[in-house]
Copies of this chain bind each other. A is one copy, B any other.
Amino acid sequence: MGDARKFFHHSEPFAMRRGGVLPGFTLAWESWGTLSPARDNVVLIFTGLSPDAHAASSEADPAPGWWEFMVGPDKPIDTNRWYVICVNSLGSCKGSTGPASINPDTGELYKTGFPELAIEDIAASADLLIQSLGIDQIAVLVGPSMGGMTALAYSLLLPEKSRHFVSLSSAVAASPFAIAIRSLQREFVMADREYRDGDYHDWDGPGTGMRLARKLGMISYRSAEEWRGRFGRDRIPAERISDKPFAMEFEVQSYLDAAAERFIGGFDPNCYLYLSRSMDWFDGAEHGFQPGGHIPKFESARILGVCSDILFPCYQQQEIADILETAGIPVSFEELGSIQGHDAFLVDKDGFGPNIREYLDAL
């Protein structure tokens, strides 16, 4: 497997929103397509909490990306036309600087010594990459989930930089229900003795806490309706049932276990805690993003939400659309009937693909 990642190194001090300063940072990023001579065909994608910059396959890295159905030649975000950039968030552990990186001032891992991370820091750091590429304008800013919050933060910090905006299953600010779920996930990790107040030796340290956090994540990412049809009350085969007390018996439990297994070991627990908390903190209203307030100067916007999403429910998509509309921005808001909940943007190819294609083709 190749690696199509590029690394942007910023070697100046970087002041963060909540008061910390990084002596410098690195961002991992990937790109697809060709930058036009006028540099006016840039699609900038911010990601959800866990994905890396590998949104789609390419010659350099043929492994399928996390948004394989969306990005590529002749795909909805058509790389024959667009120069697509996807950035691994500051604070993540997929090549960008974060709590799992070495602090150059000490030669040790940052761990919980990493400064408090805000969604705005993810946006501002990514813009330094964009500037380094000589790109003055983003044609289309795209963000699903946490990436939608980051895209909103980016455009609130730089209100004239992006021409068009695609927000998917995101929010102006987290709901108390989402805060409850995410803060409980963080508690699981911290309650694991192997977390050792963030000073664990390897990522697998608080594996139990991460596993439990991911299972709750899956409960919040998918939907009861999907599982009803997919698993019902199906049992796992008797020979796979452990003889331990209270062992797994239902297929839905086995599904959660497999999802958790795939996640742990692939994600640094401190990075997870930092990114998770940044979503709870983010609030567009702190920038004046409210009716009649400080609104980015988009030429158009498409806002997509999913009825079965309990983490970023549809009323939150409506709220984004309503605020943009008060500033006279042509907004198309659509509520998709996908049954996969918050994760639908990752898996409901037929729901999201044609919708994004239609929007981008008309630009």
Contact = CB atoms under 8 A, between A and B. Distances in A.
A277 interface: yes
Nearest to A187: B212
A102 interface: no
Given A184-B256, A233-B283, A245-B273, 14 more contacts: A176-B250, A176-B251, A177-B219, A177-B252, A180-B227, A180-B253, A180-B256, A183-B250, A184-B216, A187-B215, A191-B192, A198-B245, A246-B277, A249-B280
Interface of A: 112, 173-177, 179-181, 183-184, 186-188, 190-193, 197-198, 208, 212, 215-216, 218-219, 223-224, 227-228, 230-233, 245-246, 248-253, 256, 273, 277, 280, 283, 310, 313
A216 to B, nearest CB: 6
B219 A191 contact: no
A215 B246 contact: no
Contact of A245 (B112, B174, B313): B112
Contacts of A208: 191
A253 B182 CA distance: 10
Contacts of A184: 212, 215-216, 219, 256
A10 to B, nearest CB: 25
A213 to B, nearest CB: 10
Contact of A177 (B188, B193, B197, B227): B227
Contacts of A191: 192, 208, 212
A187 B253 CA distance: 11
Contacts of A230: 176
Contacts of A173: 233
19 contacts: A173-B233, A175-B224, A176-B224, A177-B219, A179-B250, A180-B215, A180-B219, A180-B256, A184-B215, A184-B216, A184-B219, A184-B256, A187-B212, A188-B212, A190-B246, A212-B212, A224-B310, A233-B283, A250-B280
A173 B198 CA distance: 41
Q: Which of A181, A218, A245 has the most CB of B within 10 A?
A: A245
A174 B184 CA distance: 23
Contacts of A283: 233
A227 B175 contact: yes
